Structure 1
């Protein structure tokens, strides 16, 4: 009986560690990055991609929601690895409405979809060419307050004292 309880708890713990989707990469341009697509207008239109990054801005428009995302390489479980070098910005277009409070600046997303035509825009005052991903699926990663800190290993020791009368 004891082993059954330990096994059940172990499986529950492992299940809790499965933190995100695992998108199928067959037929996906896995080596393609936003900066490369922006530099080659029309060449990659229609290609399937799995891209991820950090949301810069979200805008609800009449027919779709558009997110501006700063792309990063995907790490484990296809989660954007923001400790690595950014790969350029891109736009995600999702039909319908996405709540801007949920899809706010600083949240991480992984997106699957097909590339559309590039769109001219601006980053600050500078002109910028945005690749556009017409989303099939968007995974919004849980807010992780520890992911925004540097990746140094930390060790803390504390002493607790309880006073009673």
Structure 2
């Protein structure tokens, strides 16, 4: 059965696996803070419920680690002749199709964690405020190549109008 997300002949480019590590580190920081609060609570007011809370937090951490890998593997992009495709999602899937002629500018960003991991995010801006064409987890050289290529293609399509 064909779905709107199955595009024959499209070769998807995956993002870097370093994005998985970044997402896992962020999730671990939140769980570590939660565990610190649980330990403090257990020391001040002992109850077996604190052990249950710690077990729930550790289970949540394991689920987040597993989910981060699945989510990152679901992110990809494909450059076609007239447009760029960006896909993401496992349970709630999305496919953004951005015509090169609609692009206004291409933004590359990298926060401190992304720079440490050696990845960057490319975001396409169009006239539509609701467009979500963001590609996280690209190696810096790939992000720069994609930025330059998309900018050239966008300018060429606008010049043809």
Above 0.5 in TM-score?
no
Q: With structure 1 as the length reference, what TM-score do the two structures score?
A: 0.24
Q: With structure 2 as the length reference, what TM-score do the two structures score?
A: 0.24
Please state which structure has a larger fraction of its residues in helix. 2
Please state which structure has a larger fraction of its residues in strand. 1
